[in-house]
Chain A
């Protein structure tokens, strides 16, 4: 009996590390899956996809980009979703096709895809191009078209395109409505790569179009980063001062402990509650008062009395304050009293002791707090919806107009942009890849902000520990 008991004990001792390892492996797996999904779906969207031309059993010819396949609900077999564009002709940009009904599937090199301002993409063929009184056809028309589109929008010649869809319908399209033309089936891989790079760049550097379902996210990136930086600038001094008070100045009694528990618990308050507080106190309370004092000329249209960059930053600063306080306090508590006494014994006042010895040593801990705060703030969306984020901000919060930084303006935010694109667009199918791309970007921005803070922390640690 005791032999079995001993064996069991030994077995358990062998097994438990594997249990822990399995947990780590599972977490890593899920994280990898998340990032892979975002990477593939997000970045894949910008790859110039092959256009197919399919012939159906009914005789219909369809041109488009194959998106995905799902099993048919009633019978065996799959149905495939095609992005066909041409919303002005067909009434829809998407078409489900029963795979069994496809009799031919080709990828002709002359299929083109045009990005147009109204009606979205066109997929079909270019019949002719009329420009400068000339009528061009075939390769010459295509070359002339791409040359014209390479020019800036205001210097493009006026012209008219004659287009034919895969089903044979013709369409006359003014050149001025077209923003991009590509013939992906005729492209080589390096041309595609270059196009992919420029599409990613456009996504990053341009403003959104077509009710956020296409175009770029630059205003949202800018808004997110600016808001997080403002938030850090506000929260760091407050958090650090509060932590200094709690750890260095306050008497360590029951009240201090109560305050400390309170601060720690504030970190767990749902973020939307902070949004409500921000709306009530910052926007309506302080903002409304500011408006009656300084901006009464423009009332009833509010200046500060509506959501804006400042109120959003303040609300998030409030939200992340406990994180900074707790991290800084832990940093202060780790500093040995010998350091404090050493400074005092040399004739330093308490302020000198704090500013010259204790606080420099606490900088890494403070930065840890800021890292956590940034990570939390960059991803918050719920409170922002109440205090100043906009679906589409007409102006950037920073511009060349005095005072350059416009704290009262509404701003765009990647998190909210993501939410809006995913659920409020007209064409959710078209927006989904953008949702993945935006999500990937949000993750990357949080990562970059964190890495910056980690680098700073490392720098200060090095400076303290090795080289001065």
Chain B
């Protein structure tokens, strides 16, 4: 068993801890505010390595904000203030000596709407690689094939690698974006509602892909879809109003939540 799960008194939020060797990300009393308005409050949470962790919660609860904080995408917005720690493999990502571009390579991110670049399929996947280093074409081709295969897209696009990525369907585009992220070999993959703009079949493909990918890396999934969280994730964190309400193994959170608030949300009795 990877996780040592402490069960807490029923009146309090139970806490799930992972020992450092199993922990990919650890978030410690993290606060974040947009232009003075708090969005995340005293968030403490650790994400296990090579597992799928789902963040669920109502709109505006801060789950996407948290995801973007892990990638330091808030850096672009001056009105964002934060405090507390986020550690990736034991290193504080907000430390002054952190190389932000290297951090973002290690922490890949996939957004709600597929955002392939206006280039060929090949160039999309090569984009991140080209930023890192100059590789011989042969080696680059191999990595691109591997990334597209990992994203379960290779068979569909291998004959048209040099066609525009914008000609792909929405689901294919989203898998292309995942392949593009995988190509730079990240440690963590953040997925911000990756299937919410897709049709049910594409959604199933993405979910299957997420399950398959956890042997390679750590995945964090933000989703509105409770069934999806239940289907693909190993651990689930329930956030509300910028606070972590409950965090535990998905089976337990969905079948036997400790708190009434969690149960209400999961069963749809939430107002």
Residues in A lying within 8 Å of B, measured CB to CB: 251, 336, 338-339, 341-349, 352, 356-357, 360-361, 464-468
Chain B residues, Cβ within 8 Å of A346: 104-105, 108, 127-128, 131, 180-181, 184
B182 → chain A closest CB, angstroms? 11
Chain B residues, Cβ within 8 Å of A342: 111, 115-117, 177
Bound together, the chains give a CA A95 to CA B49 distance in angstroms of 101
Residues in B lying within 8 Å of A, measured CB to CB: 71, 73, 76, 78, 101-102, 104-105, 108-109, 111, 113, 115-120, 123, 127-128, 131-132, 162-164, 166-167, 177, 180-181, 184
Bound together, the chains give a CA A62 to CA B188 distance in angstroms of 97
8 sampled A-B residue pairs with Cβ under 8 A: A251-B78, A339-B115, A341-B73, A342-B111, A344-B73, A344-B76, A348-B127, A357-B118
Chain A residues, Cβ within 8 Å of B163: 467-468
Q: Are A466 and B108 in contact (CB under 8 A)?
A: no
With A341-B115, A346-B131 in contact, is A467–B101 under 8 Å at CB?
Answer: no
Interface of A is mostly: helix
User: Residue B181 contacts which of A339, A345, A356, A361 (CB distance < 8 angstroms)?
Assistant: A345
Q: Are B111 and A341 in contact (CB under 8 A)?
A: yes
Chain B residues, Cβ within 8 Å of A464: 118, 164, 166
Q: Are A347 and B131 in contact (CB under 8 A)?
A: yes
With A345-B73, A349-B101 in contact, is A360–B132 under 8 Å at CB?
Answer: no
Bound together, the chains give a CA A356 to CA B130 distance in angstroms of 11
Q: Are A345 and B127 in contact (CB under 8 A)?
A: no
Bound together, the chains give a CA A339 to CA B166 distance in angstroms of 13
A335 → chain B closest CB, angstroms? 10
With A341-B73, A344-B104, A349-B101 in contact, is A467–B164 under 8 Å at CB?
Answer: yes
Interface centre among B109, B111, B115, B120 (most CB of A within 10 A): B115
Q: Are B117 and A339 in contact (CB under 8 A)?
A: yes
Q: Are A347 and B105 in contact (CB under 8 A)?
A: yes
Chain A residues, Cβ within 8 Å of B131: 346-348, 352
Q: Are B117 and A465 in contact (CB under 8 A)?
A: no
Q: Are B167 and A466 in contact (CB under 8 A)?
A: yes
Q: Are A465 and B128 in contact (CB under 8 A)?
A: no
Bound together, the chains give a CA A141 to CA B151 distance in angstroms of 89
Q: Are A347 and B118 in contact (CB under 8 A)?
A: no
With A343-B117, A347-B128, A466-B167 in contact, is A338–B111 under 8 Å at CB?
Answer: yes
